[in-house]
Amino acid sequence: MLRLLEAGCAWGLGAGGGVRGLLSGHLGHGVRPATALCDPGHSPSRRASDGPRNQPPSSEFVARPVGVCSMMRLPVQASPEGLDAAFVGVPLDIGTSNRPGARFGPRRIREESVLLRTANPSTGALPFQSLMVADLGDVNVNLYNLQDSCRLIQEAYQRIIAAGCIPLTLGGDHTITYPILQAMAKKHGPVGLLHVDAHTDTADKALGEKLYHGTPFRRCMDEGLLDCKRVVQIGIRGSSMTLDPYTYSRSKGFRVVLAEDCWMKSLVPLMGEVRQQMGGKPMYISFDIDSLDPAYAPGTGTPEIAGLTPSQALEIIRGCQGLNVVGCDLVEVSPPYDPSGNTALLAANLLFEMLCVLPKVTTV
């Protein structure tokens, strides 16, 4: 399913051993080196309530460049068993229509995530005191076959979801959301969707192909994976081939919120309406980084001017607190177009915010 290269795991054991030797007694209660789960003697079958939970190490005791490059320097493990939530990379970009490079997104987001810490003072969320969380590595996609990659992604996520683990996905282009939602629907049935993006991604086909990053939600509708009355698309904008490019979405009952309707205002009131619309049923968050203005997130494949701001992105995600979130993704980070790393840094922070709004996360 999620294959960690043996060489990488062996290197991790060496690094972990070094961390234990140099920093023994300084990692804090419940904190293990990021490589501990490569240890053949470790059993990952415990639930969060059964013992100490994984904690990202503090930079007060472990220098940020130290250790294996995992999300928030969390332990890496190959199985979702015993986890409440997990970060999962899907390094796929062969569904892109413009600038490629999103296959490198998961790795770059992990690199920038070293700046993240364990608590969220703005919302009072303490995710690592509430949930057992780890990094499950990357889905072993087929970069030469998009259909086969979708099969591999669906199979991987079916196993994750069956284990009772909520996946937080590091993309990858937006094609990946389609097989993820296929897996979600097998357990939850049609789900609600909060889709934050510059584009509706409801095209039918391009160049004769019905599967690419512009069609995932059209394919989801074809298969009945979405609860149409609980689909909201926020941040939509850009030029088009027609004067009403939102016809399909609205004809299916989606709520489409244009970027122009978000300019110069707080989105807290909007999210109050979204919360009522979603109710208590399962819902999924799919966040395309191109929803943000390219001044903040230039490292993406299909940038559109006049987008959302980072503070509005926080309002959207934080507005999901208390909802029945069953999965999340952050897609379309393209590191070759992100020389400063700021797009990946923003993505890492948004994924942390998604973790903070998951069910059962303690807030104080």
Burial of 144 per CB tally in 10 Å (0-12, 13-18, 19+): exposed
Do residues 125 and 148 touch, judged by C-beta distance below 8 A?
no
- Whether residue 188 is annotated as binding a ligand: the answer is no
- Whether residue 138 is annotated as binding a ligand: the answer is no
Structure tokens at 86: 């997990």
- Whether residue 201 is annotated as binding a ligand: the answer is yes
Do residues 86 and 168 touch, judged by C-beta distance below 8 A?
yes
Collapse the DSSP code of 316 into the 3-class scheme (helix H, G, I; strand E, B; otherwise coil) and give the result. helix
Do residues 90 and 216 touch, judged by C-beta distance below 8 A?
no
- The C-alpha atoms of residue 144 and residue 149 are separated, in whole angstroms, by 8
Amino acid symbol at 253: G
- Spatial neighbors of 151 by CB under 8 A, at least 6 apart, are 179
Amino acid symbol at 129: Q
User: Rounded to 5 degrees, what are φ and ψ at 170?
Assistant: -105, 110
User: In the block, which residue shows the tokens 């220098």?
Assistant: 63
**Taking the CB of residue 265, how many other CB atoms lie within 10 A of it?**
11
CA distances from 351 to 59, 83, 270, 313, 345 (A): 20, 17, 21, 11, 10
Paired strand residues for 363: 125
**Taking the CB of residue 139, how many other CB atoms lie within 10 A of it?**
27
Q: Return the H-helix or E-strand segment holding 16.
A: helix 6-23
- The C-alpha atoms of residue 70 and residue 77 are separated, in whole angstroms, by 10
- Whether residue 213 is annotated as binding a ligand: the answer is no
Structure tokens at 3: 């294959």
- Whether residue 222 is annotated as binding a ligand: the answer is no
- Whether residue 148 is annotated as binding a ligand: the answer is no
Our CA angle for 298, 304, 307, nearest 5°, is: 85
Q: Give the residue numbers of the binding site.
A: 174, 197, 199, 201, 288, 290
Please enumerate, by residue number, every residue annotated as part of a binding site for Mn(2+): 174, 197, 199, 201, 288, 290
